[in-house]
Structure 1
Protein backbone atom coordinates (compact mmCIF):
# COMPACT_ATOMS: atom_id res chain seq x y z
CA UNK A 1 0.00 0.00 0.00
CA UNK A 2 1.37 3.41 -0.94
CA UNK A 3 1.30 5.71 2.07
CA UNK A 4 -0.87 8.80 1.55
CA UNK A 5 0.85 12.16 1.46
CA UNK A 6 0.13 15.11 3.71
CA UNK A 7 0.10 15.92 7.38
CA UNK A 8 -0.42 13.06 9.77
CA UNK A 9 -3.78 13.61 11.48
CA UNK A 10 -5.88 11.56 13.85
CA UNK A 11 -8.40 11.04 11.03
CA UNK A 12 -5.73 9.62 8.69
CA UNK A 13 -4.52 7.32 11.45
CA UNK A 14 -8.08 6.08 12.07
CA UNK A 15 -8.61 5.45 8.34
CA UNK A 16 -5.37 3.46 8.17
CA UNK A 17 -6.26 1.57 11.35
CA UNK A 18 -9.59 0.54 9.86
CA UNK A 19 -7.82 -0.81 6.77
CA UNK A 20 -5.23 -2.65 8.88
CA UNK A 21 -7.99 -4.17 11.01
CA UNK A 22 -9.82 -5.27 7.85
CA UNK A 23 -6.67 -6.98 6.53
CA UNK A 24 -5.24 -8.50 9.71
CA UNK A 25 -8.17 -8.76 12.12
CA UNK A 26 -8.21 -7.41 15.67
CA UNK A 27 -5.98 -10.14 17.12
CA UNK A 28 -3.06 -9.51 14.75
CA UNK A 29 -3.34 -5.80 13.89
CA UNK A 30 -0.64 -3.73 15.62
CA UNK A 31 0.27 -0.06 15.89
CA UNK A 32 3.43 -0.90 13.90
CA UNK A 33 1.17 -2.17 11.06
CA UNK A 34 -0.76 1.10 11.14
CA UNK A 35 2.43 3.15 11.11
CA UNK A 36 3.81 1.08 8.22
CA UNK A 37 0.60 1.65 6.22
CA UNK A 38 1.00 5.39 6.77
CA UNK A 39 4.74 5.41 6.06
CA UNK A 40 5.57 6.85 9.50
CA UNK A 41 7.16 5.62 12.71
CA UNK A 42 4.97 4.01 15.34
CA UNK A 43 6.02 6.86 17.64
CA UNK A 44 4.19 9.25 15.31
CA UNK A 45 0.99 7.26 15.79
CA UNK A 46 1.50 7.25 19.57
CA UNK A 47 1.71 11.06 19.54
CA UNK A 48 -1.96 11.08 18.50
CA UNK A 49 -3.11 8.00 20.45
CA UNK A 50 -1.17 7.28 23.64
CA UNK A 51 -1.86 3.54 23.67
CA UNK A 52 -3.01 0.76 21.37
CA UNK A 53 -6.18 0.56 23.48
CA UNK A 54 -6.85 4.29 22.94
CA UNK A 55 -6.43 3.82 19.19
CA UNK A 56 -8.81 0.84 19.14
CA UNK A 57 -11.34 2.78 21.23
CA UNK A 58 -11.16 5.77 18.86
CA UNK A 59 -11.65 3.63 15.76
CA UNK A 60 -14.60 1.87 17.44
CA UNK A 61 -16.17 5.21 18.37
CA UNK A 62 -15.67 6.48 14.81
CA UNK A 63 -17.44 3.40 13.44
CA UNK A 64 -20.37 3.78 15.84
CA UNK A 65 -20.60 7.54 15.23
CA UNK A 66 -21.25 6.94 11.53
CA UNK A 67 -24.57 5.37 12.45
CA UNK A 68 -25.44 8.08 15.00
CA UNK A 69 -24.70 10.85 12.50
CA UNK A 70 -26.75 9.17 9.79
CA UNK A 71 -29.74 8.95 12.13
CA UNK A 72 -29.40 12.46 13.59
CA UNK A 73 -30.87 14.09 10.49
CA UNK A 74 -34.07 12.05 10.79
CA UNK A 75 -34.80 13.49 14.25
CA UNK A 76 -35.41 16.97 12.84
CA UNK A 77 -36.63 16.11 9.34
CA UNK A 78 -40.04 17.19 8.09
CA UNK A 79 -42.94 14.87 8.75
CA UNK A 80 -45.03 13.67 11.64
CA UNK A 81 -43.40 12.15 14.73
CA UNK A 82 -44.78 8.76 13.67
CA UNK A 83 -43.15 9.09 10.22
CA UNK A 84 -39.87 10.15 11.83
CA UNK A 85 -40.00 7.26 14.31
CA UNK A 86 -40.64 4.74 11.53
CA UNK A 87 -37.90 6.31 9.36
CA UNK A 88 -35.41 6.36 12.25
CA UNK A 89 -35.98 2.70 13.18
CA UNK A 90 -35.80 1.65 9.51
CA UNK A 91 -32.57 3.63 8.99
CA UNK A 92 -31.00 2.04 12.08
CA UNK A 93 -31.89 -1.45 10.85
CA UNK A 94 -30.66 -0.60 7.36
CA UNK A 95 -27.36 0.83 8.64
CA UNK A 96 -26.61 -2.18 10.82
CA UNK A 97 -27.66 -4.64 8.11
CA UNK A 98 -25.40 -2.95 5.55
CA UNK A 99 -22.45 -2.92 7.94
CA UNK A 100 -22.86 -6.66 8.49
CA UNK A 101 -23.53 -7.57 4.85
CA UNK A 102 -21.30 -5.18 2.91
CA UNK A 103 -18.07 -5.91 4.79
CA UNK A 104 -18.49 -9.03 6.97
CA UNK A 105 -14.79 -9.17 7.92
CA UNK A 106 -14.80 -5.60 9.20
CA UNK A 107 -18.14 -6.17 10.94
CA UNK A 108 -16.68 -9.21 12.74
CA UNK A 109 -13.67 -7.10 13.72
CA UNK A 110 -15.84 -4.34 15.12
CA UNK A 111 -17.91 -6.87 17.04
CA UNK A 112 -14.69 -7.80 18.87
CA UNK A 113 -13.77 -4.13 19.36
CA UNK A 114 -17.17 -3.17 20.73
CA UNK A 115 -16.85 -5.97 23.29
CA UNK A 116 -13.55 -4.38 24.38
CA UNK A 117 -14.88 -0.81 24.45
CA UNK A 118 -17.93 -0.94 26.66
CA UNK A 119 -17.79 2.81 27.40
CA UNK A 120 -17.90 3.69 23.69
CA UNK A 121 -20.86 1.37 23.18
CA UNK A 122 -22.69 2.83 26.20
CA UNK A 123 -22.12 6.34 24.82
CA UNK A 124 -23.41 5.23 21.41
CA UNK A 125 -26.57 3.72 22.92
CA UNK A 126 -27.08 6.88 24.99
CA UNK A 127 -26.84 8.97 21.81
CA UNK A 128 -29.29 6.74 19.96
CA UNK A 129 -31.83 6.64 22.78
CA UNK A 130 -31.46 10.42 23.10
CA UNK A 131 -32.42 10.77 19.44
CA UNK A 132 -35.40 8.46 19.96
CA UNK A 133 -36.41 10.46 23.04
CA UNK A 134 -36.54 13.67 20.99
CA UNK A 135 -38.79 12.04 18.37
CA UNK A 136 -41.13 10.58 21.01
CA UNK A 137 -41.13 13.89 22.90
CA UNK A 138 -42.25 15.66 19.71
CA UNK A 139 -45.02 13.09 19.36
CA UNK A 140 -46.15 13.64 22.95
CA UNK A 141 -46.17 17.42 22.46
CA UNK A 142 -48.18 17.05 19.25
CA UNK A 143 -50.66 14.69 20.93
CA UNK A 144 -49.70 11.87 18.54
CA UNK A 145 -48.13 9.73 21.27
CA UNK A 146 -49.64 9.21 24.70
CA UNK A 147 -46.53 8.88 26.84
CA UNK A 148 -45.98 10.44 30.28
CA UNK A 149 -42.17 10.34 30.14
CA UNK A 150 -40.46 10.02 26.72
CA UNK A 151 -37.00 8.94 27.97
CA UNK A 152 -37.92 5.53 29.46
CA UNK A 153 -40.30 4.93 26.56
CA UNK A 154 -37.45 5.61 24.11
CA UNK A 155 -35.25 3.09 25.93
CA UNK A 156 -38.09 0.54 25.79
CA UNK A 157 -38.55 1.10 22.03
CA UNK A 158 -34.80 0.69 21.53
CA UNK A 159 -34.77 -2.55 23.51
CA UNK A 160 -37.93 -3.86 21.82
CA UNK A 161 -36.29 -3.46 18.40
CA UNK A 162 -32.98 -5.00 19.47
CA UNK A 163 -33.35 -7.93 17.07
CA UNK A 164 -32.99 -5.44 14.22
CA UNK A 165 -29.89 -3.57 15.40
CA UNK A 166 -28.00 -5.56 18.05
CA UNK A 167 -25.01 -7.23 16.33
CA UNK A 168 -25.68 -10.52 18.16
CA UNK A 169 -28.69 -10.93 15.80
CA UNK A 170 -26.73 -10.18 12.60
CA UNK A 171 -27.31 -13.69 11.24
CA UNK A 172 -31.07 -13.08 11.33
CA UNK A 173 -30.89 -9.91 9.24
CA UNK A 174 -30.85 -11.78 5.92
CA UNK A 175 -33.41 -14.42 6.84
CA UNK A 176 -36.61 -14.68 4.77
CA UNK A 177 -39.42 -12.60 6.20
CA UNK A 178 -37.19 -10.37 8.35
CA UNK A 179 -38.55 -7.18 6.72
CA UNK A 180 -42.12 -8.25 7.43
CA UNK A 181 -41.16 -9.04 11.04
CA UNK A 182 -39.53 -5.62 11.38
CA UNK A 183 -42.64 -3.89 10.01
CA UNK A 184 -44.90 -5.89 12.36
CA UNK A 185 -42.81 -4.93 15.41
CA UNK A 186 -42.73 -1.24 14.43
CA UNK A 187 -46.50 -1.25 13.76
CA UNK A 188 -47.08 -2.76 17.20
CA UNK A 189 -44.87 -0.17 18.89
CA UNK A 190 -46.52 2.74 17.07
CA UNK A 191 -49.98 1.46 18.05
CA UNK A 192 -48.81 1.19 21.65
CA UNK A 193 -47.47 4.74 21.64
CA UNK A 194 -50.40 6.31 19.83
CA UNK A 195 -52.84 8.56 21.58
CA UNK A 196 -56.37 7.05 21.73
CA UNK A 197 -57.61 9.91 19.53
CA UNK A 198 -55.17 8.97 16.75
Structure 2
Protein backbone atom coordinates (compact mmCIF):
# COMPACT_ATOMS: atom_id res chain seq x y z
CA UNK A 1 0.00 0.00 0.00
CA UNK A 2 1.69 3.21 -1.13
CA UNK A 3 1.47 6.30 0.98
CA UNK A 4 0.79 9.82 -0.27
CA UNK A 5 2.00 11.44 2.94
CA UNK A 6 5.52 12.91 2.84
CA UNK A 7 8.07 10.58 4.36
CA UNK A 8 9.83 12.35 7.21
CA UNK A 9 12.30 11.24 9.84
CA UNK A 10 9.59 11.70 12.47
CA UNK A 11 7.16 9.39 10.60
CA UNK A 12 9.91 6.80 10.26
CA UNK A 13 10.70 6.99 13.97
CA UNK A 14 7.04 6.63 14.90
CA UNK A 15 6.73 3.59 12.63
CA UNK A 16 9.96 2.15 14.05
CA UNK A 17 8.51 2.45 17.53
CA UNK A 18 5.41 0.57 16.40
CA UNK A 19 7.56 -2.17 14.83
CA UNK A 20 9.72 -2.42 17.96
CA UNK A 21 6.62 -2.75 20.12
CA UNK A 22 5.32 -5.54 17.89
CA UNK A 23 8.52 -7.48 17.17
CA UNK A 24 11.07 -6.47 19.81
CA UNK A 25 14.60 -5.22 19.19
CA UNK A 26 15.98 -8.57 18.06
CA UNK A 27 13.45 -9.17 15.27
CA UNK A 28 12.54 -5.65 14.08
CA UNK A 29 13.95 -4.85 10.64
CA UNK A 30 14.11 -1.84 8.36
CA UNK A 31 11.94 -3.79 5.92
CA UNK A 32 9.27 -4.06 8.65
CA UNK A 33 9.42 -0.30 9.20
CA UNK A 34 9.16 0.36 5.46
CA UNK A 35 6.19 -2.02 5.21
CA UNK A 36 4.33 -0.13 7.97
CA UNK A 37 4.97 3.12 6.09
CA UNK A 38 4.07 1.70 2.70
CA UNK A 39 7.45 2.60 1.20
CA UNK A 40 10.57 0.76 0.10
CA UNK A 41 13.33 0.09 2.61
CA UNK A 42 15.57 2.26 0.40
CA UNK A 43 13.31 5.21 1.26
CA UNK A 44 13.93 4.62 4.95
CA UNK A 45 17.68 4.38 4.30
CA UNK A 46 17.59 7.82 2.65
CA UNK A 47 16.75 9.26 6.08
CA UNK A 48 18.81 6.87 8.20
CA UNK A 49 21.91 5.50 6.50
CA UNK A 50 22.07 2.31 8.55
CA UNK A 51 19.87 0.19 10.76
CA UNK A 52 22.11 1.18 13.67
CA UNK A 53 21.53 4.88 12.93
CA UNK A 54 17.77 4.28 12.91
CA UNK A 55 17.92 2.40 16.21
CA UNK A 56 20.07 5.15 17.71
CA UNK A 57 17.64 7.84 16.56
CA UNK A 58 14.61 6.04 17.97
CA UNK A 59 16.44 5.51 21.27
CA UNK A 60 17.34 9.21 21.42
CA UNK A 61 13.73 10.15 20.70
CA UNK A 62 12.55 7.94 23.55
CA UNK A 63 15.10 9.33 26.00
CA UNK A 64 14.46 12.93 24.92
CA UNK A 65 10.83 12.64 25.96
CA UNK A 66 11.98 12.41 29.58
CA UNK A 67 14.52 15.24 29.25
CA UNK A 68 11.99 17.49 27.54
CA UNK A 69 9.34 16.84 30.19
CA UNK A 70 11.77 17.66 33.00
CA UNK A 71 13.31 20.76 31.42
CA UNK A 72 10.29 22.87 32.35
CA UNK A 73 10.95 22.28 36.04
CA UNK A 74 14.40 23.90 35.84
CA UNK A 75 13.16 27.42 35.14
CA UNK A 76 9.76 27.11 36.78
CA UNK A 77 8.73 29.46 39.54
CA UNK A 78 9.32 28.48 43.13
CA UNK A 79 12.12 27.70 45.52
CA UNK A 80 15.05 25.63 44.26
CA UNK A 81 14.40 22.95 46.90
CA UNK A 82 10.84 22.46 45.66
CA UNK A 83 11.97 22.34 42.03
CA UNK A 84 14.71 19.84 42.90
CA UNK A 85 12.14 17.61 44.57
CA UNK A 86 9.72 17.98 41.61
CA UNK A 87 12.49 17.25 39.11
CA UNK A 88 13.72 14.09 40.84
CA UNK A 89 10.14 12.91 41.49
CA UNK A 90 9.31 13.65 37.85
CA UNK A 91 12.23 11.54 36.67
CA UNK A 92 11.12 8.63 38.87
CA UNK A 93 7.50 8.99 37.73
CA UNK A 94 8.50 9.16 34.04
CA UNK A 95 10.54 5.98 34.36
CA UNK A 96 7.76 4.22 36.27
CA UNK A 97 5.30 5.08 33.51
CA UNK A 98 7.64 3.95 30.76
CA UNK A 99 8.16 0.61 32.47
CA UNK A 100 4.59 0.07 33.63
CA UNK A 101 2.50 1.51 30.79
CA UNK A 102 4.25 -0.29 27.96
CA UNK A 103 6.48 -3.06 29.36
CA UNK A 104 7.19 -4.61 25.95
CA UNK A 105 8.47 -1.35 24.52
CA UNK A 106 10.36 -0.57 27.74
CA UNK A 107 12.13 -3.93 27.47
CA UNK A 108 12.96 -3.23 23.85
CA UNK A 109 14.35 0.19 24.68
CA UNK A 110 16.41 -1.27 27.50
CA UNK A 111 18.13 -3.40 24.85
CA UNK A 112 18.55 -0.42 22.50
CA UNK A 113 19.92 1.80 25.27
CA UNK A 114 22.60 -0.82 25.84
CA UNK A 115 23.60 -0.51 22.18
CA UNK A 116 23.59 3.30 21.99
CA UNK A 117 26.12 4.32 24.64
CA UNK A 118 26.85 7.71 23.07
CA UNK A 119 23.13 8.55 23.02
CA UNK A 120 22.83 7.44 26.65
CA UNK A 121 25.87 9.50 27.65
CA UNK A 122 24.34 12.58 26.00
CA UNK A 123 21.03 11.90 27.76
CA UNK A 124 22.72 11.61 31.16
CA UNK A 125 24.72 14.78 30.48
CA UNK A 126 21.48 16.60 29.64
CA UNK A 127 19.76 15.35 32.79
CA UNK A 128 22.68 16.15 35.08
CA UNK A 129 22.96 19.55 33.39
CA UNK A 130 19.33 20.24 34.30
CA UNK A 131 20.00 19.16 37.87
CA UNK A 132 23.13 21.34 38.02
CA UNK A 133 21.08 24.36 36.94
CA UNK A 134 18.65 23.83 39.82
CA UNK A 135 21.51 23.32 42.29
CA UNK A 136 23.27 26.45 41.00
CA UNK A 137 20.08 28.48 41.43
CA UNK A 138 19.71 27.10 44.95
CA UNK A 139 23.29 28.02 45.86
CA UNK A 140 22.91 31.51 44.38
CA UNK A 141 19.65 32.01 46.26
CA UNK A 142 21.07 30.76 49.56
CA UNK A 143 18.79 27.71 49.77
CA UNK A 144 21.71 25.32 49.28
CA UNK A 145 25.16 25.38 50.82
CA UNK A 146 28.02 26.48 48.54
CA UNK A 147 29.11 23.58 46.33
CA UNK A 148 30.17 22.71 42.81
CA UNK A 149 26.77 22.39 41.08
CA UNK A 150 28.07 19.96 38.43
CA UNK A 151 29.64 17.60 40.97
CA UNK A 152 26.59 17.83 43.23
CA UNK A 153 24.22 17.18 40.33
CA UNK A 154 26.14 14.05 39.37
CA UNK A 155 26.06 12.87 43.00
CA UNK A 156 22.30 13.46 43.19
CA UNK A 157 21.77 11.60 39.93
CA UNK A 158 23.86 8.64 41.07
CA UNK A 159 22.32 8.61 44.56
CA UNK A 160 18.85 8.28 43.04
CA UNK A 161 19.83 5.73 40.36
CA UNK A 162 17.66 3.07 41.98
CA UNK A 163 14.67 5.17 40.92
CA UNK A 164 15.58 5.86 37.29
CA UNK A 165 18.12 3.31 36.06
CA UNK A 166 16.23 0.68 34.02
CA UNK A 167 18.20 -2.07 35.78
CA UNK A 168 16.05 -1.39 38.85
CA UNK A 169 12.71 -1.32 37.01
CA UNK A 170 11.33 -4.44 38.75
CA UNK A 171 11.62 -2.60 42.09
CA UNK A 172 9.67 0.49 40.98
CA UNK A 173 6.29 -1.15 41.48
CA UNK A 174 7.01 -2.41 44.99
CA UNK A 175 4.44 -1.16 47.53
CA UNK A 176 7.11 0.72 49.52
CA UNK A 177 8.92 2.26 46.52
CA UNK A 178 7.33 5.71 46.85
CA UNK A 179 7.97 5.82 50.58
CA UNK A 180 11.61 4.78 50.15
CA UNK A 181 12.08 7.33 47.37
CA UNK A 182 10.62 10.13 49.51
CA UNK A 183 12.89 9.20 52.43
CA UNK A 184 15.94 9.31 50.15
CA UNK A 185 14.84 12.63 48.67
CA UNK A 186 14.37 14.11 52.16
CA UNK A 187 17.86 12.98 53.14
CA UNK A 188 19.46 14.42 50.00
CA UNK A 189 17.70 17.77 50.32
CA UNK A 190 18.66 18.09 53.99
CA UNK A 191 22.27 17.50 52.98
CA UNK A 192 22.15 20.42 50.51
CA UNK A 193 20.84 22.98 52.96
CA UNK A 194 23.27 25.52 54.45
**TM-score interval, smaller chain:** over 0.9
Distance 1:4 1:88, change over 3 A: farther
The separation in 2 between residues aligned to 1:80 and 1:69, in whole angstroms, is 21
The separation in 1 between residues aligned to 2:119 and 2:191, in whole angstroms, is 31
The separation in 2 between residues aligned to 1:193 and 1:148, in whole angstroms, is 9
Distance 1:4 1:98, change over 3 A: farther
Structure 2 stretches lacking a partner, 5+ long: none
- What do the CA deviations read for 1:137-172 (whole angstroms, capped 9, x no partner)? 000000110032110000000000000000000000
Deviation of residue 6 (structure 1)? 1.0
Distance 1:20 1:150, change over 3 A: same
Match of 1:118 in 2: 117
Match of 2:147 in 1: 148
Say whether the 8 Å CA contact 1:93–1:164 is kept in structure 2. yes
Match of 1:133 in 2: 132
Runs of 4+ aligned structure 1 residues displaced above 6 Å come to: none
Match of 1:185 in 2: 184
Provide the secondary structure at the position in 1 that maps to 2:25.
coil
The separation in 2 between residues aligned to 1:59 and 1:145, in whole angstroms, is 37
Distance 1:44 1:73, change over 3 A: same
The separation in 1 between residues aligned to 2:130 and 2:2, in whole angstroms, is 38
Query: How many residue pairs align between the two structures?
Result: 194
Say whether the 8 Å CA contact 2:3–2:39 is kept in structure 1. no
Say whether the 8 Å CA contact 2:132–2:149 is kept in structure 1. yes
Distance 1:156 1:104, change over 3 A: same
Distance 1:145 1:3, change over 3 A: farther
- What do the CA deviations read for 1:10-45 (whole angstroms, capped 9, x no partner)? 000000000000000111100000000000000000
Match of 1:25 in 2: 24
What is the CA RMSD across the aligned residues, in angstroms?
1.0
Provide the secondary structure at the position in 2 that maps to 1:148.
coil
Structure 1 stretches lacking a partner, 5+ long: none
